[in-house]
Structure 1
């Protein structure tokens, strides 16, 4: 499984938890229980409610209580770590929560020039953020997903009020946590990524790729923020995918190289194309006769190759043939699932058809070494291939 996060509105700790619980509602009791196990007063309430933002339905996490009755001061990283280590939470959850807090403390320490243990979390709103981080740790441990990706991160704009005065968005510690991530200005103002949200992204090592991985969608969830923003829902979307979906076909992209040759002898061109067939990255080479300019017969050549080798293959084409120009395209390709197998003592290719039928093609280059007669080759081929031709998966 891999999970992609779309930061439509942005990301905060409560939005992340809400998105996870919208996708996996069965985790809600465990997340809420952990928040109380770390010391959340029983008088405080934790709710996951259905709500809408810009017409999109999702979940919103609400933690509420009387601050005067909280009997809790966030304190330093050392204080929070001690509180977590002394709790009755399972060890893996404690480790995750401590790591998220550590990343926050490390960023704050760099920004303010302090040692990590001495960092005071001014910007963490007491129980709200402690519960956000503990809840996120529980959710991450229960999901047990090691592969995460994230969309471009919205920059936001304006200022945010901190214990050190007004700061530009994103806040200094948030910027530190987001180093290496791609950020974009979508024109929507406000704080779009909180320090806790940034620390979670850092903890899960979310990657950013121009080309997403693909797979079958398992589940999705919408986590809503507490404020409304202009022009988009204040939403974090989570989509979980199943990787390596069993299918009779797979898809990728291949490079196409085509050109015509009318001034190279057939003998020399045959040698050139054999060299190209063995060149790294080349998948197939096909030639056929065409009528070229001025009615001259010419050889049209088409080469399929791995996209990442296309420049090297083009260079080799110019070295091996007399052509002085060629055409290239990138094509989408669908191929049947197949594997190399040994049948008897002969290599073969086993292919899974869309209807579940398995077919086998014996390697003729190996078969020809066993006999020089067509009739014997045909007989051996029928025997070898027939043994598995009608298998179904």
Structure 2
């Protein structure tokens, strides 16, 4: 398997249709699979999924949408638009391998965000804004893209900072602020920018796709292999309304990894901060771009004084900035650092409600570990251990 990293450049923003169009523009071999999966979840009379070439601010783009439908909702029945109903439609459709799992994971993230906002159980969530057929189609098509690239490439994902937008968007509950509450909840921890252009720039579906795929602060690297641009329907003043996908062949990066990556090891000791202050400082330092890891250790200094030792692994290009932040966030008056080499095994994360990190080890073997954060919501140690064993062994 040749590993790829895909960087999403949210020039105009991101929505479900923009994501699908950008990736199919970059990887045309996805087109038939995506169209087949999208069509499989649609009822008769809802129309047909289609790609169309066009332009946005003079840039050639691809667009994805529903064509020829008699009614945006088709012949729906009681329960249409509910989380349970939409999951049922996805599970019952004849989809390519892996599509349903990714699509349900995206939809579940949306449902969990809505449930938290409205204070209802996930199973009672009703999607007012994404309850039409083209929105369901976008979720399934995005799941198809994610599954195909996970299988073929073990793809990893990153995203640029996101356009904040502004104003209000009309929803079933009235006028809501932009970013919409579900979008904001899903993208807590992501970087944003205000480019002065208002309107809804990141939709809830786009936000759920990012939350599902972008599992860390990854950065593009390797040989740029392909690019693609997916456009939204809205025209933005002074800029193209596009999501750009950049596909990197990380084979060269893998070779560098096998030879050993260079990292900076930065360390210092603290003897005059409270536990609460140390916890806050450690969280802020971990969140810095360029900090690969941070560990704390209890130490004993001269005259038996208790110390807390900080050890950070830092990308060499970020060392100067991280050194400065250490001196600002903690009470230390001195730092130590050195350069080391490290080897990192290839890894990828997938899964629905509980994500699994799979690591490729020498000799072709693979180990799997459930993400502990995803198990935290399960009540009882025995239940958490049972669920962990279940997802790691694939039972």
TM-score by length of 2: 0.61
Residue among 10, 19, 44 paired with 1:41? 44
1:244 alignment counterpart: 251
Q: 1:186 to 1:308 in 2, by over 3 A?
A: closer
Asked if 1:231 corresponds to 2:238, the answer is yes
| Residue 88 (structure 1) shift | 1.9
Task: Note if contact 2:26-2:227 (Cα within 8 Å) is conserved in structure 1.
Answer: yes
| Residue 205 (structure 1) shift | 2.5
| Residue 186 (structure 1) shift | 1.0
| Residue 41 (structure 1) shift | 2.5
Taking only aligned residues, the RMSD between alpha carbons, in angstroms, comes to 3.3
Residue among 184, 194, 209 paired with 1:200? 209
Residue among 146, 159, 171 paired with 2:168? 159
Residue among 61, 68, 71 paired with 1:67? 71
3-state DSSP of counterpart to 2:98: helix
3-state DSSP of counterpart to 1:58: strand
Separation (CA, whole Å) in 2 of partners of 1:213 and 1:53:
25
Residue among 93, 97, 103 paired with 2:103? 97
Q: 1:310 to 1:175 in 2, by over 3 A?
A: closer
Residue among 110, 126, 129 paired with 2:132? 126
| Residue 251 (structure 1) shift | 9.6
2:229 alignment counterpart: 222
CA displacement, residues 144-200 of structure 1 (integer Å, 9 cap, x when unaligned):
144111000110011100000001100011111111111111111110000000000
Task: Note if contact 1:150-1:206 (Cα within 8 Å) is conserved in structure 2.
Answer: no
Separation (CA, whole Å) in 1 of partners of 2:195 and 2:158:
19
CA displacement, residues 17-45 of structure 1 (integer Å, 9 cap, x when unaligned):
00011011121121111122113436613
| Residue 111 (structure 1) shift | 0.4
Q: 1:124 to 1:216 in 2, by over 3 A?
A: same
3-state DSSP of counterpart to 1:217: strand
| Structure 1 unaligned spans of 5+ | 256-305, 315-393
Separation (CA, whole Å) in 2 of partners of 1:171 and 1:76:
19
Separation (CA, whole Å) in 1 of partners of 2:318 and 2:211:
34
Q: 1:310 to 1:232 in 2, by over 3 A?
A: closer
| Residue 307 (structure 1) shift | 4.6
Q: 1:151 to 1:106 in 2, by over 3 A?
A: same
Separation (CA, whole Å) in 1 of partners of 2:24 and 2:318:
44
CA displacement, residues 226-251 of structure 1 (integer Å, 9 cap, x when unaligned):
1101121000000010113158x999
Separation (CA, whole Å) in 2 of partners of 1:203 and 1:226:
24
3-state DSSP of counterpart to 1:111: helix
Task: Note if contact 1:152-1:208 (Cα within 8 Å) is conserved in structure 2.
Answer: no
Name the stretch that deviates more: 77-86 or 214-223. Answer: 77-86
CA displacement, residues 71-103 of structure 1 (integer Å, 9 cap, x when unaligned):
126421111112222222245211111111100
Separation (CA, whole Å) in 1 of partners of 2:120 and 2:103:
21
1:28 alignment counterpart: 31
Asked if 1:188 corresponds to 2:203, the answer is no
Count, aligned residues: 267
Q: 1:250 to 1:61 in 2, by over 3 A?
A: same
Task: Note if contact 2:50-2:64 (Cα within 8 Å) is conserved in structure 1.
Answer: yes
3-state DSSP of counterpart to 1:67: coil
The equivalences for 1:129-140 within 5 A come to: 129-140=135-146
CA displacement, residues 278-313 of structure 1 (integer Å, 9 cap, x when unaligned):
xxxxxxxxxxxxxxxxxxxxxxxxxxxx959989xx
3-state DSSP of counterpart to 2:251: coil
Q: 1:146 to 1:51 in 2, by over 3 A?
A: same
Q: Give runs of ≥4 in structure 1 deviating > 4 Å.
A: 249-255, 306-311
Q: 1:97 to 1:254 in 2, by over 3 A?
A: closer
Residue among 29, 50, 53 paired with 1:50? 53
The equivalences for 1:304-343 within 5 A come to: 307=316
Task: Note if contact 2:42-2:137 (Cα within 8 Å) is conserved in structure 1.
Answer: no
